[in-house]
Amino acid sequence: MSLLCLYGKDIGVIAEKLAESSVLFADLSGIPIAEQKPIVADRNWIYKRDHLISFRDEKLQFPFSPSLAGQYFRVGMGRGSGVLGVTAKLADLGIEISEKRISEIVAKVNDEAVRQKRRFTDDEFKTLVSALR
């Protein structure tokens, strides 16, 4: 990716297949993709904080577009998530809820993320929202 993005040197690797290839290798080998792996780990493309979500400009936040590596922008839920993030995640998941309840969900997401010391999966977030309805 450095050769391609910084120097414009194409070495014949189809960069858009990096994430897909990594998942296939992980599945076949039984060795999971480490969360801190650059480029191919999903964690690199997740935003939790509202000030990052509000930009939605990949050029400000990444050295290259996530799509170049077969990835995409995701909204994550965890400590530091705010109103914009919760609203975006609810929309992504197709969950409709009154705006009055958003701040309650934000507070619960942050409290639970601190307690559990990790971010939520989409299914965990859906369960949390369902419990607050």
pLDDT, tens only, 14-52 = 999 999 999 999 999 999 999 888 889 887 787 777 666
The two tokens of residue 113 are 């993320």
Q: Which pLDDT does position 51 carry in this prediction?
A: 66
Q: What is the DSSP string of 47-105?
A: E-BHHHHHH--HHHH-SS-GGGGT---EE-BSTTB-HHHHHHHHHHTT----HHHHHHH
pLDDT, tens only, 80-124 = 899 999 999 999 999 999 888 999 999 999 999 999 999 889 999
Q: Given CA atoms 63, 68, 72, 76 in this order, what sign does their dihedral have?
A: negative
pLDDT, tens only, 64-89 = 888 888 988 888 899 989 999 999 99
